[in-house]
Amino acid sequence: MKKCNIDNAPIKKVKKDYFTGPVTLREISRITKPSEHDIYHVTFKKSARTKLHFHTGGQMLIVTKGGGSLVYYKKVSGSITKFKIVKTRTVNLSNGDVVYIPPKILHTHGSTIIGHVKNAKFSHIAINFYPKKNEKPKTVWYESDFRSNVTGKIP
C-alpha cells in the first residue's frame, strides 16, 4: 500500500505560458507511478484558466473546491497552428462535479468569477488517461483569444 495526502503531494513546475494566471499543480501519481494515467491536483487562483489545449488520451476532472467552467471548442478552418475556432459548449463546474473530456477535444478549464469575488480559488483533480498502456499522454497547447482565433502553438 502507498498513501499520500493531496496537500503534501509534490508540486510540479508548470509552464506559465499554459495558463492565464497563477496555478499550483500537485503530482499525485508520482507516489503510485501508474502505467495507465497521471493524476494531478490543480489549484487555480485569481480567475486563472488553462489556455486552449487537447490531450491525446481522455481526461477526467473532479472538482474539489470552488466554482469553475469547462469550455469546449471546435476548429472550423485554417492551418495546423493558426485556425478559427467556435465555442461548442460551456459546462459550469462546482464542488463534487465530475466530468470526462474525450481525447483530442479542444478545451479550456479553470476558475470563474463568482459574484464579485475575483480571487476565488477553484481546484480539481485531473486524471489524464494514457492513450495506450505505458504510453504517456501528450497535451498540445495553443495561444488564442478564447473566442474565434488561434494564433499559434505553444511549445
pLDDT in tens, 34-55: 778 899 999 999 889 999 999 9
3-state secondary structure of 71: strand
The answer to whether residue 72 scores a pLDDT higher than 60 is yes
Calculate the average pLDDT of the chain. 91
Alpha helices (H) along 44-154: none
The beta strands (E) that lie in the chain are given as 11-12, 23-27, 37-44, 52-55, 59-65, 67-78, 83-94, 98-101, 107-111, 122-129, 139-144, 149-154
Q: Which cell goes with 116? A: 464579485
d(CA 25, CA 136): 18
Amino acid 113: pLDDT: 61
Q: 83-94 and 149-154 as β-strands: parallel, antiparallel, unpaired?
A: antiparallel
Q: Which of 78, 68, 140, 56 is nearest to 111 (CA)?
A: 68
d(CA 52, CA 60): 16
Amino acid 117: pLDDT: 54
The answer to whether residue 11 scores a pLDDT higher than 80 is yes
pTM: 0.91
Amino acid 36: pLDDT: 87
Centre a 10 Å sphere on the Cβ of residue 121 and count the other Cβ atoms it contains.
Answer: 17
Place of cell 459550469: 92
The answer to whether residue 30 scores a pLDDT higher than 90 is no
The answer to whether residue 7 scores a pLDDT higher than 90 is no
pLDDT in tens, 89-133: 999 999 999 999 999 999 999 997 655 555 578 999 999 999 988
Amino acid 153: pLDDT: 96
The CATH number fitting domain 6-71+92-135, selected from 2.60.120.10, 2.60.40.10, 1.20.1090.10, 1.10.260.40: 2.60.120.10
Q: What is the mean pLDDT of residues 58-72?
A: 95
Q: Which cell goes with 92? A: 459550469
